[in-house]
A and B are shown apart, each in its own frame.
Chain A
Amino acid sequence: MVRVSAARTPDETRTVLDAGDIARALTRVAHEIVERTKGADDIVLLGIPTRGVFLADRIAECIHQIEGREIPVGSLDVTLYRDDLRRAPARALLPTSIPTGGIDDKVVVLVDDVLYSGRTIRAALDALSDIGRPRMVQLAVLVDRGHRELPIRPDYVGKNIPTAKTEKVLVHLVEFDGDDAVRLSGQPLEES
């Protein structure tokens, strides 16, 4: 049997989700959010910059089409709460904007592009507790690539993609990168 992926060179990339796959995954996630929160009555979507914010906007638009209501969307930059700041030069801060209703007693759904170690989400949970006290916090991600380093799990997953730690998951979104695609690059699973 031919192992296609084994023939790749390390810097080769392969597309795992195209624009249609991403749109369908986000629509499904939106439906799941509506179902699990029983109508998305008091939810607030908070995207984690950069790409999580665009994903949150798209999910909010889907929920708007399903339920016919505007869903509050904001962004939450977690840079100041990261535990790995001292491993790299200081990063520029990205915008944080909390919708006018605040997050107290709301169901906050954090939205990010890729779930990996879980450390970004830990930082986001810390940041949330400094902003207010949500009734519940849930997590939606476009891609779950595994390799968690903390006891954190997603509530809504666009696509589970098993990866090797040596691989990179590249998410491109129209709003920021000009096209919609999720690609894998680097050494594939079999060779790790």
Chain B
Amino acid sequence: MDKGSELRRDGDWAVLRIWGEVDLSWSQDVRRQVLEAYAKVKSLAVQLDGVSYIDSSGIAALVEGFQHARSKGGRFALLAPSEAVRAVLELARLDRVFPIFTDLAAARAA
């Protein structure tokens, strides 16, 4: 299945869109991109509507990004997580931990 990621700038935010199956085979790439994005911006949103599966190594990359933002006074948001992502977030109650928004405008306004 098609999978990949794409980073774009939107004003003072960076948006990392990832899609397909996020698993051990490339979740470390996602982690690296999340951390590299914070070298350039203070606010990062990860767009997850196209993610058909995410394992716990993928979730770990998101947790690390969020922790990084909090420790450096930046912002972190998840945008439009698919049902597949939500199911895994809920397993660890992370749906109550991550800031989750439908789109970037909502994240900005929060």
Tell whether A pairs with B. Answer: no
Binding site for B on A (CB under 8 A): none
